Structure 1
């Protein structure tokens, strides 16, 4: 679409008797708006006829002839504007709700709840396929979960096909590569493919895409991901990591069904009817197995880890792994409401109790110092990954819960279940002493401290003093406290740490698809952005940054399809779009990973971008300034298929 048409349809305007309220979404075939007429809501899909061509009529052709269960209904259609039509407008029922992927992120469902969502969707596909219709763009974002009853509703037949529908050119249907099966990839890569030959999309391709959806819902990652060339090879090889291995909360039977959907054509689930039978069988199995009721991901806690692929850093660089693990934000469930704790009023002063209070404070102060020191030490210990040795040391505290399957050396193991999960179950409740990380070549260093009478000079105390009495007992309380504080503080400061580059990581689910399909951004595309605190005018003055969450502002509108002179493009991200993500500071550079874009109108998009300097190098060079870490105020953001 051309830039000049971006604001043709705007909130508040009237279109053939419908009042436009707001935009609901946009895709490769048009934009969808919430509209009202005669007090009733509906969804208007605007398809630009010149840009989309015959593709726009295919959806109308399919929806006019059929009324499927759990499929969005077509109410009417018209051309607009009336005097000189440029758009085909489809009037569809409005389905208040969120996408299937967003539903999973918001509700953190159990395995049983996933099956309950997939079963009616599979029944709808059974009816669709019975009428020789193929959706050809099945993905989590094309399934809405209706607010009223929680039912899944299949939307967007813009890429659909059926006998008699208008024919269009193209070797493959315009679906995302992440959802394409090995048969489609084989056709695409075949050297003997004739010019103009089109792939015969089948029911098997539809079921493969449904298997990808199930995999993402169960594990929060795609079965295959990465740059296109690697992705094509992985799809052809067809050996995804089983969902129950990637996430041990996934029941084995559900994992096997998912792999059955992702198998090669001769081993795949044959049709939607067979899939319905399999899902019904799983629901019966779920009634007798409590594992099916466990949420598939951790809830919204500070250190709750998601089910992303287990990093290979475990056992090699545990500190780097843990830094990466701590930065993981929970992706499923809603954050709890903040608790308001009313503080008790202080006791009124009493003259008679002053001597006793003085004694209590005098004795409590060393204990308070010890507690503070212990907290500092424990805080650092939780920053180290030190699993206990297989043979416990006498007197040593060891964790009572095992590592999850993702990190276990002995195979899959179910995660422990708690009503309120505030920490991963494999984290030791206390710091262990000298425990070697799993598969580590060198045990974790243990620092001990001994106070020798030959190295410490003490003042002589008067006979009968409190210090003298303590000396006659089991030793000075103050000295013991100092030893304890020094020990934990020494544990908390093992020496200078060399900050390293962030470890590779997969993009958020659906990010690559959003950038390439919805925004039409090619991977590797770059655009300028302003760091926080950067002046609006051009200035080389460096700005301070710190590790953690960051929000940048897009500098100018991001356009696609421009010519050599920068003309004729389409704005996909307007000027002022906010880009949110995380900064990681290494020894010499600052690295940034952007995972969300929010436009000035409030549209929120999941993206996958990295920060680059304007010379084309990943990351931004650090320029220390009196202890502060500063960087150049202007950077580039680059679309990527995976964080390096």
Structure 2
């Protein structure tokens, strides 16, 4: 496997006179490292000359010609290594801080703070556009909030353009995240009568639309539109986002209206950055005149009694599905969580620090296992005895105590998720940036919204039905099956006890290959038209748990899986990997479902997420490096392990 930049650039090594400390992040056209020289910090952006060097030269050309306020500054550049240059290195000023969305998540700002944050950014865009420069990849990840003064700083002009720079875009659209594309750009991309080689003319109003998406996310914590690519493009073209003040009642209507003007169609959109600055300055005056609704945090904080919805209680007890939909669309909490309350009990005397283990006192794993066996036997026997006692106690049914009806006007309190909700029914979802992931995304695709130091939940034991087990169906009210079920509590308890026993000693399972299945909607079109990949193309990837430079098999299990693309995937490259254009950069995460067969492990990849957050719906299958579908299970006694380096192939249908 070709060495990656992480293999070459390591902490404490010196590159061009700069000592590397750590990796800061990665984008579509390069990776950024924190480095030091003469006691000062710098941000070094490494751009691979062979694959994306043309984009690097464009960024260098733009940054050398101009210096803008609230835009990261270029300080120097060089090629590296000196003897055989493979990378263009841009030396930028180091901006300590967090990304804009992370700032909102940590700060839980009010509407006034949003305006104060966006106004300097709008003024910076005004200066940028005055020099005929366009960023073309404006999004939350490309705006840093400086730690020292809280000022927004625009970074990463890798996709930028200006008159005189060489044209390198081979596709119809410049690289960018689909969620931030304007309705005009999406309509151009979907136009069937488009001429071959015709390119979209990106204008200032496209940039302002992207800024409107940023404002929408900051105000509501959701994107205005979301979903699989085909649905997302249809919603962007329709251009009817729910007003921010409707989605979040804490958003002042004036700020909501400005956001909608930024997201409107081109003829009704804010015309330029100067007009946007004027509108934001007017909002500041309005906020000072009536600060009540402008100084309230936009989301609930991490308090013990802080509710996460405003109007869910009146739905409880009336329509559980509507209640659940409202509950899922809750505003996520922001801000830093409060410290846990102190324990009521008197503090015990702190235990003495443990002695360091020695060769004679440290028990081996085998010794621990022998000691644990009697304890496990005792626990199992006690569990079975307790189950039998509970069964005998349930043989004589006890009529349930009547529940008094609620007083008029009083809400009915239930558990957070209604008991009537069935997993067999339709599952609604929201599009929260941090908290709720839609069902087409695997769990690894997004970062959760829980605080970094949340309380550790109690351990929960789950039991997964095997493929041969009949799935339980929802019983119709009053049916014969329901009556039988209600009268067999003891039998149900016995089944539960038997299930617990089976969990301790599972029997042999018969594994089957996955059945054929259609690709996700729009996946083939995204791969072939948007990315330019051909069906049947393959590229290397690493399995989860792969150790750098090691061929040691890694353990796998059924369910969601996330692989990492090994090297950049280029469309139109020859058999030796030369030429072509990068469509999925190095480090792209490939997510899907993993299935374990009798001798092989299969995976169906349905989503690709680049290091910059660009998301594509795809259809790919797992292949081994010998050209066979599926990866052979390596013999390893109990655990199921596979070779860590695999390939993925673009397909039209899952076989």
> Do these two structures clear the TM 0.5 threshold for a shared fold by scoring above it?
yes
1:129 and 1:315, CA in 2 relative to 1: closer, same or farther beyond 3 A?
farther
Alignment of 1:519-538 (within 5 A): none
Alignment of 1:267 with 2:275, yes or no, is no
Task: Give the corresponding residue for 2:407.
Answer: 396
Task: Give the corresponding residue for 2:337.
Answer: 335
The alpha carbon displacement at 1:91 in A equals 0.5
Alignment of 1:187 with 2:195, yes or no, is no
Alignment of 1:484-633 (within 5 A): 499-500=423-424, 503-509=427-433, 561=569
1:111 and 1:345, CA in 2 relative to 1: closer, same or farther beyond 3 A?
closer
1:330 and 1:261, CA in 2 relative to 1: closer, same or farther beyond 3 A?
closer
The alpha carbon displacement at 1:319 in A equals 6.4
The alpha carbon displacement at 1:68 in A equals 0.5
Alignment of 1:291 with 2:293, yes or no, is yes
Number of aligned pairs? 450
The alpha carbon displacement at 1:559 in A equals 7.1
Task: Give the corresponding residue for 1:254.
Answer: 255
Task: Give the corresponding residue for 2:351.
Answer: none
Deviations 1:393-414 (A, max 9, x none): 9992645xxxxxxxxxxxxxxx
1:305 and 1:88, CA in 2 relative to 1: closer, same or farther beyond 3 A?
farther
In 2, are the aligned partners of 1:224 and 1:235 still within 8 Å (CA)? yes
Task: Give the corresponding residue for 2:69.
Answer: 69
Scaled by the length of structure 2, the TM-score of the pair is 0.58
Q: Specify the SS of the correspondent of 1:7.
A: helix
d(CA) in 2 for partners of 1:431 and 1:310?
10
The alpha carbon displacement at 1:341 in A equals 3.7
Larger displacement relative to structure 2 (256-265 or 193-202): 193-202
d(CA) in 1 for partners of 2:6 and 2:345?
55
Deviations 1:64-119 (A, max 9, x none): 11111000011111111111111111100000000111101111111111000000
1:162 and 1:319, CA in 2 relative to 1: closer, same or farther beyond 3 A?
closer
Whose radius of gyration is greater, 1 or 2?
1
Alignment of 1:122 with 2:122, yes or no, is yes
Alignment of 1:278 with 2:286, yes or no, is no
Deviations 1:129-163 (A, max 9, x none): 11111111100110000000000000001111111
Q: Specify the SS of the correspondent of 1:293.
A: coil
d(CA) in 2 for partners of 1:26 and 1:329?
30
Task: Give the corresponding residue for 1:47.
Answer: 47
Alignment of 1:152-551 (within 5 A): 152-170=152-170, 171-287=172-288, 288-301=290-303, 317-318=319-320, 321-322=323-324, 325=327, 330-343=332-345, 396=407, 398=409, 428=411, 431=413, 499-500=423-424, 503-509=427-433
Larger displacement relative to structure 2 (241-250 or 162-171): 162-171
The alpha carbon displacement at 1:232 in A equals 1.6
1:528 and 1:310, CA in 2 relative to 1: closer, same or farther beyond 3 A?
farther
d(CA) in 1 for partners of 2:233 and 2:218?
22
1:49 and 1:163, CA in 2 relative to 1: closer, same or farther beyond 3 A?
same
In 1, are the aligned partners of 2:325 and 2:429 still within 8 Å (CA)? no
Q: Specify the SS of the correspondent of 1:186.
A: helix
Long gaps (5+) in structure 1: 347-392, 400-427, 433-490, 531-535, 546-551, 580-593, 598-602, 615-631, 639-644
In 1, are the aligned partners of 2:309 and 2:327 still within 8 Å (CA)? no
Deviations 1:571-606 (A, max 9, x none): 9569xx999xxxxxxxxxxxxxx99x9xxxxx9989
In 1, are the aligned partners of 2:145 and 2:151 still within 8 Å (CA)? yes
In 2, are the aligned partners of 1:507 and 1:608 still within 8 Å (CA)? no
1:75 and 1:395, CA in 2 relative to 1: closer, same or farther beyond 3 A?
closer
In 2, are the aligned partners of 1:298 and 1:330 still within 8 Å (CA)? yes
The alpha carbon displacement at 1:193 in A equals 2.5
Q: Which runs of 4+ in 1 moved over 6 A?
A: 307-311, 313-316, 326-329, 494-497, 510-517, 525-530, 536-540, 555-560, 566-571, 603-610
Larger displacement relative to structure 2 (332-341 or 233-242): 332-341
d(CA) in 1 for partners of 2:159 and 2:187?
21
Scaled by the length of structure 1, the TM-score of the pair is 0.59
Deviations 1:360-384 (A, max 9, x none): xxxxxxxxxxxxxxxxxxxxxxxxx
Task: Give the corresponding residue for 2:377.
Answer: none
Task: Give the corresponding residue for 1:36.
Answer: 36
